[in-house]
Amino acid sequence: MRSLASAATAMTRAEPREMAEQLRRAWRDSKDPSLAGIYELLLSATPSEALEGDDPSERARAWRERAMRARGEPLELPVLLAEPSHPDLPEIERLQLLGRWTPDPLLAGAMVERLRLALVTRERVGAAQIIADTIRLLAAQRDPRQLDTLELLARDARLSSDLTRQLQAVIAGLRSVSLTPLDASARAALAPLEQRARALRSEQAVRAALLEAVHADPDADEPRLVYADWLTSHGDPRGEFITLQLERSGRPMAAPSARERALLRRHEAEWTGVLHSVLSPEGRVFERGFIAAGSIEASRLDRDLIRAGSWATLRGLDGHVPIQLVFSGRLDRLRTLYGFLSFERFVQIRASGRLEAVEDYECSLADYNVRFDTPLGLRSLLVRQALDERLRALLGSPACAGLEQLGVYYEPERIGSASRRWTGDHRERASLRARYQLLSVELPPHIQRLRMLDAETSRASRPLGCELNFERDADGRLSRVRLDLHPKPSEAHLSDHARAREVVGMLEPLLGQLTRVTLGDVGDYDRDALAEQLRAWTHDRPDLELVLG
């Protein structure tokens, strides 16, 4: 094939665009799997101009402009495929523009991966259309290498009959693709391209081994430093990011530098890796260069995702944590587990030797049959749907042995035009006043702290409204409280002063029992307005200490 000879010549002359175009042309003529693999490797190693912009809207605009300008240019495809989906760049629009590269083996592989992830998260709004468009684009690539993965996906009994039919149609089409074997002259022309591909595979193997060393010992800094040095020596900005975060990890109170924030803003989705598709964009935390906390927003995960090494660096998980991930995922370092894992199941899992490092756990007490006779060995416990009698049973049980902090949810008291009114259910959604009065008496002395979250909070890792953290004073009373304020959609229409009045008015029933109020993080609340309201509120309590920050 003359196109292979042209590709080899272009590589020798350092003409990457011509090389990529000729190599893709050879694959289109033959559909030979080895050509597809070499094409993908050489493209991944060929530098291309990065997309401009840091915030999502700027990058979405740059992506559209690049996709429309490039019109099938092979070297532009890796950059476009690497940019993750976000609200400013809808997936359906992306798929339409990526169709300009058809047929392309790199695009085929990317579409199979996106299809696999889309099937995992198909309960999301608009997922059905995205899946259908992805299947159509994948079919148009005519790449037989994807048969095995598609056949595996099509055997999933949980798929709808319509999705199964669509996949089977693609499979039938790929089975009919004819392969044209490469002759001796084509093999000879391919030799220098194969040699370059072998060198790239060796480099990829080194990278994978260094990354696996991080996953195998996530508490150690040394593997991260080694990986960072290797990345930096190969021009990868993640090396700098890992180094910056490692330097800051020794100074817990230090704020991220402007450079660290800029790198994370630009590359967060890329560095979240395969977990980007299942972790909510909100609440992600990176520590020492790797994803360390997030909230799962998919109801199930496939086998490859569950076995991904990226889970190993997580210290906190929230949301829909699938039981398969708990039993088979690399969660040995997990310290905080919030979300929907039942109390009974958690006890069973701990007994089996899994989740042994978890110190902070959230559960529901709605099930009256749950027993609390097993010590959990936790540092903190957060409970939902807790009736007063169930709370009392829990607090007096072996499950709370050694517990340092208890967390509960409360229903805020609302301030009306003339008087304060409370709209919560008096049992499962107790008011702040009722919950505090109960726990200030019933909380065992060894539990030193009480955390109270607004009941509108759906993810404990991302609280809404006013979060109250009580501590015991020298006499053992829960009289010291720190207020941390978080954005709350239901109050977005209120003015700064109205929101401050809501917070302070909610505290008024506790005034006689508090000795210190600390104003902590205030989020998008107005600190001056809060301070003004707190001073006015405590005017007749000169003995109450105010720490306003």
Long-range contacts of 212-219 (CB under 8 A, 24+ apart): 212/309, 214/290, 214/312, 214/313, 215/309, 215/310, 215/312, 215/313, 215/330, 216/312, 218/290, 218/312, 218/313, 218/332, 218/333, 219/333
Nearest residue to 375 (alpha-carbon basis) of 403, 352, 354, 355: 403
Q: Could you tell me whether strands 336-337 and 360-364 are parallel, antiparallel, or unpaired per DSSP bridges? A: parallel
Nearest residue to 502 (alpha-carbon basis) of 429, 426, 420, 437: 420
Question: DSSP per residue over 339-379, as a string?
Answer: SS--HHHHHHHHHTT-STT--EEEEE---TT----S----S
**Residue pLDDT tens, the chain, 549 long:** 689 999 999 999 999 999 999 999 999 999 999 999 999 999 988 888 888 887 778 889 999 999 999 989 999 999 999 887 777 888 889 999 999 999 999 999 999 988 877 666 555 657 788 888 999 999 999 999 999 999 988 988 878 889 899 999 999 999 999 999 999 999 999 999 999 999 999 999 999 999 999 999 999 999 999 999 999 999 999 999 999 999 999 887 889 999 999 999 989 988 999 898 899 988 999 999 999 999 998 877 888 899 999 999 999 999 988 889 999 999 999 999 998 788 999 999 999 999 999 999 999 988 888 899 999 999 999 999 888 899 999 999 999 999 999 999 998 875 443 334 444 444 455 889 999 999 999 999 999 999 999 999 999 999 999 999 999 999 999 999 999 999 999 888 999 999 999 999 888 889 889 999 999 999 999 999 999 999 998 888 889 999 997
Q: In what order do the strands lie in the sheet with 465-471?
A: 285-287, 290-296, 316-319, 336-337, 360-364, 380-384, 405-410, 449-454, 465-471, 480-486, 516-519, 545-547
Residue 257, both tokens:
């530098």
In this prediction, residue 425 carries a pLDDT of 44
Question: DSSP per residue over 254-290, as a string?
Answer: PPPPHHHHHHHHHHHHHHHGGGGGTB-STT-EEETTE
Q: Could you tell me whether strands 414-415 and 420-421 are parallel, antiparallel, or unpaired per DSSP bridges? A: antiparallel
In this prediction, residue 419 carries a pLDDT of 36
In this prediction, residue 71 carries a pLDDT of 86
Residue 159 DSSP one-character state: S
In this prediction, residue 168 carries a pLDDT of 95
Helix (H) or strand (E) holding 117: helix 105-120
